[in-house]
Structure 1
Amino acid sequence: MPPSAPGRLLLARLGAGVLDALLPPHCLTCEAAVERQGTQCGDCFRQLARLTAPFCAKCGVPFLHAGQAGPGGLCLACLARPPAYGAARAALRYDAGAQRLILPFKHGDRTDLAAPLAEKMAQAGAALLAACDLIVPVPLHWRRLLSRRYNQAALLAQRLARLAGKPCIPDLLRRTRATPPLGELGAAQRAALLAGAFRLTDRGARRVAGQRVLLVDDVMTSGATAEACALALLAAGATAVDVLAAARVPDPRLQAEA
């Protein structure tokens, strides 16, 4: 006879206790001891900058103060050229604290970090998760996927789908061509390189029609990748596309204001 729900909970707690005895819990981002697996020590936790208001109501870029917001709570870039997606949100400001979680996750095979990052994303993007019909990750080009062995955005999307009870299709979007690293490029250069770089699979085109899609990525910088993906999804018949990222890079033009 399978164990009852209380019995399963007891077994899970016993298993966790045995694991903690064999492998004492330590901080996700340093070697400090912690009380529970999958958490950070106090020092590392305090270095995380949660992305809270004020931020642009459209692209989610953080403001230094509410006075930087224009009409409708938008940044100047969104006022000048509104993005194709509806709204973008992120859990963390992309700074040194966030990098200690995201860089090992993205480049260091630390796939265990998907769970704590997804939990933070679910809190920051609760409204977007509640409104969506379908969760889709930003894809990697097949060559990069082959070298990295996993798509970090897909791991986050799958975790978010479990937390929200929403369907996730990891292979709905495809990156049709490889693009060079975008880190040092400006917004216009990023947009030019990414134009037409994403398309839907045949199955994806059928699945997305009439759906509100939540696009998931690890780091949102200029928004060019989100824009290119959103355009492909909307062209295939999605009713709306929102974006949820683990971290958002601040706009240096906004941050430089005294």
Structure 2
Amino acid sequence: MKKNIIVTGTSRGIGFELVKILSEQGHQILALSRNEKPIKSLNLKNVTPFSFDINNKSDLQQVKTFIAEKWEKVDVLINNAGKLVNKPFTKITSAEFEEVYKTNVFGVFELTKLLIPFMHKKSHVLTISSMGGVQGSLKFPGLSAYSSSKGAVITLTEVLAEEYKESGPSFNVFALGAVQTEMLEEAFPGYQAPVSAEKMAKYIADFSLNGHELYNGKLLQVSNSTP
């Protein structure tokens, strides 16, 4: 069954691979990213790329208008967009800390809130977090903003699953380990992850379509390595 799917952070890495995988399966995709060119260049007929800033009110309104006029319902939302700053705690500025939270937490809040009225009992919101946001996991210096923001969306997911357990949608969150993406290279220059962006995207795509049948309000640690 073909679904209406929204993916954020689609200009590179896992988000880019997700769009390719899900579109090949015939689903309708709304690909949201500040840089729409990488997806646009693929010329996929069932994909609508939006140049989209998750913190921009008019961009959010554009998405709402598109859904209302073209789709009327949303089956899957994959909150994949992320921002990372790698700096010692005493060197990171308030503005930098806030920017990370604006994308990783408030962006998830704004878009999810906007889309819930278009969702139904069997819809699924899957948020991509990090092992760095999991309580008790190994932490890394320099990632105070990133890791704490990823912890916030884990708890947000658990609360929303409880709040919407009668009406839907379902909410789940993945804490990813090391995946070979541009963001990983920014955080750990030179580190080679054991998992490719394409391989992780395949797993995320499948879970986004089917995982809500067995899981709701769950944090799943998707990692075979540290970091």
Shorter-normalised TM range: 0.3 to 0.5
TM-score, reference length from structure 1: 0.31
TM-score, reference length from structure 2: 0.34
